[in-house]
Amino acid sequence: HLLRAASVDVARDYELVEIERECAWRVVAPYKAVVPVQGALFRLDDRTLALVNPPSIDDALAARIAALGIVSLIVNTTGGHGDGAARCAAHFPNAALWGTDARTMHKQPQLAWTGFLGGDGGGGGGGAAQQPFANLGLECYFVDGHYAREAIVVHRASRTAVITDTLMFARYDARMSLRFAWYMWLFGMWYGEGVDAADDAARPLRAQTYNHFIVSDARAMRRALHAALG
């Protein structure tokens, strides 16, 4: 599985969808009613749950997640999305909270962060700086070579890779704000024109990742991606 934003529509409601029986779920919540943030919920080897790339869930969605088991781990996989981390941490205060940006703490310094992937959160991770959850069946790879401070998380039991914004598929929608459309274009995260939504499932995955304004060392980023996905 490759959890990607193409599977949800702009401003879609809160969502929890099973993608692998009793093992992996897609979690979606709108961010400021502009764009959906898609995260993942995984059953770990110890039977507890991990929220990866936590979206800004509401009380009802948190209750549905809690009904599946104990959330023991929250992993924020990009420099952004701090709002989602804060909301999930509030709903699951006993979960260990990991991020990727030790410098800004994802603009949520009040949270009780357990640790940060990639050492100082600013790079130098070599693609696999830390594997704090490997004994639980969850592998983490810090993506070097760009400023977004992201990590790819691989859940081996469900054969799922969460790539967050390292590879982003977007389709313009009339409900998408002009500001967000410019944001997508500026950072290179754009799919192109003339794509029929009904054709998505039949088409090869075509997308862009961050452009040269974000990537500081293309070779280092390439090495990190190969380490995670190769």
Q: Which of 136, 161, 167, 150 is nearest to 50 (CA)?
A: 136
* 3-state secondary structure (DSSP) of residue 207: coil
Query: What is residue 9's predicted lDDT score, i.e. its pLDDT?
Result: 45
Through-space distance between the first and last CA atoms of the chain, rounded to whole angstroms: 15
Find the angle CA(47)-CA(16)-CA(167) to the nearest 5 degrees: 95
CA distances from 141 to 79, 162, 185 (A): 14, 11, 26
Q: Rounded mean pLDDT of the chain?
A: 77
**Residue 19 burial by CB count (10 A; 0-12/13-18/19+): exposed, middle or buried?**
middle
User: How remote is the C-alpha of 220 from its chain's centroid?
Assistant: 20
Q: How confident is the model at residue 68 (pLDDT cuts 50, 70, 90)?
A: very high
20: three-class secondary structure by DSSP: strand
Q: Specify the pTM.
A: 0.79
The mean pLDDT value for 147-157 works out to: 87
CA–CA dist 19, 185 (Å, integer): 30
**What span, in angstroms and rounded, lies between the C-alpha atoms of 48 and 132?**
16
Choose from 49-53, 168-172, 194-198 the range with maximum mean pLDDT: 49-53
| Residues 78-107: tens digit of each pLDDT | 887 889 999 999 999 999 999 998 889 999
List phi, psi (to 5°) of 9.
-100, 160
Give the mean model confidence (pLDDT) for residues 142-158: 85
Q: Specify the residue for token string 């992937």.
A: 117
User: Among 11-15, 100-104, 147-151, 166-170, where is mean pLDDT lowest?
Assistant: 166-170
Give 179 or 169, the one with higher predicted confidence: 179
Distance in angstroms (rounded) separating the CA atoms of residues 141 and 153: 6
Band of residue 13 on the pLDDT scale cut at 50, 70, 90: confident
d(CA 138, CA 145) in angstroms, rounded, equals 23
Q: What is the pLDDT of residues 37-58, one digit of tens each?
A: 889 999 999 999 999 999 999 9
Contacts of 59 (CB under 8 A, 6+ apart): 91
Mean pLDDT of 151-170: 81
- How far apart, in Å, are the Cα atoms of 224 and each of 72, 130, 146? 27, 13, 11
The answer to which of 10-24, 111-125, 141-155 has the lowest mean pLDDT is 111-125
Residues 52-71, mean pLDDT to the nearest whole number: 95
